[in-house]
Structure 1
């Protein structure tokens, strides 16, 4: 089996194509090695705003978590045989390399005439990235509902109803009660719901179905098409059904998916369109 590697870059200036290598993945179709330079990452703190820096750090750590790589368990464990992580492939990384708008870019995968071994990975890493180091920091668990409450709600609470419980008394065609994160109105109705795409698929489908039912009930009430947001995080790719559902919502013309770290998109729309609470006190 051939050995293939791809370098991960952070783009500093897209217009000038300024980028810095930050990590590497090496694989052979069955196993993979992955690491990034924490020392290089720390330099970015002075080169970009804190929000962008945190997004980059979380993305790099999320790959480590998704590949089930635990570098704390002795210095020799950097690979994984779990075939559920089959996105680590030449074709998919080639696909990722074409997306120049990603926070972290992958280079086109390249074959290299070396044995697939830990020592060779370290040598290649130190040649193209930086001095090899063990990344022991675990990715922090993100409670998406808490993140939305803390970051978005205070910015829009005067424009919308927050965490409002709705039932058929509010909308005639709403057959099951639902608590929605926010609800507003301008020329068209607006609603938003935070969804955890990592939960069991049955419960995820139920959450989506209930929110869609609410949007239909709202539109039947006033015969107006509305603006509807789903806030959340892209699920791990090895959760196939969940990731497929996330893709459908992301590509939907009816619902608009917004990553919880990009909540400013929702705020800008609400403020820019002078949205008011749907139910006035």
Structure 2
């Protein structure tokens, strides 16, 4: 038995009006296949280009090791120059990923290679973020701290993506006081005997290829696995739903500070308690 996932709808291109009507207002995901072919980045951006332009920049790296009480919120697992990281990606499989690399802050000239999408949402123009990963590396299932509307633009390689909306929280083994599910769930091939509540979750799936854009509505859970070495860029707009905006404010100013404080006070016991609670709180929603 597999997860209950439907294919994310695809369009070759789309007007602002149709995007707002059919996807933003009903908060449904969509893949737009051929919307950025006129961007210089569409043809220019590859690993060698980034190494040449920003190879000396230090980057923070993350892998799939379990969360530790010794780690701060989004604390990196390693650092190296972008040039060294590109060489690593080319030479051998690696679990290391670049996560939330602000290209305008680090390499301002890259803003000449892309445009801000005109699809009816006011994008945060100072926060275009890049993500890199080696073959078979993946993120944990999570949602973003700001519950933003996200346009995830893939530039290189192939990426598998699974999404769930916030209505599925009770089935996903969500870890309390966090933005992730249990880290030991392999969402690309989950053990539904071990994690039976997942049988009730209804989600979406797709594979992104070069130049394709995935729109992820506010607060959508997302799991991303690099089928090949690749990289993507995300553009975001603040949530319009007042409840989601309130959740984002809570996450920024209360949740993350509370969680870090509890890690300092209780150490690994806090992490273990949260993981246990993820199972206990999910199990009451049915396992058959």
TM over 0.5: no
Q: Which structure has the highest helix share of the two?
A: 1
Where relative contact order (Cα < 8 A, 6+ residues apart) is larger, the structure is 2
TM-score by length of 1: 0.26
* TM-score normalised per structure 2: 0.26
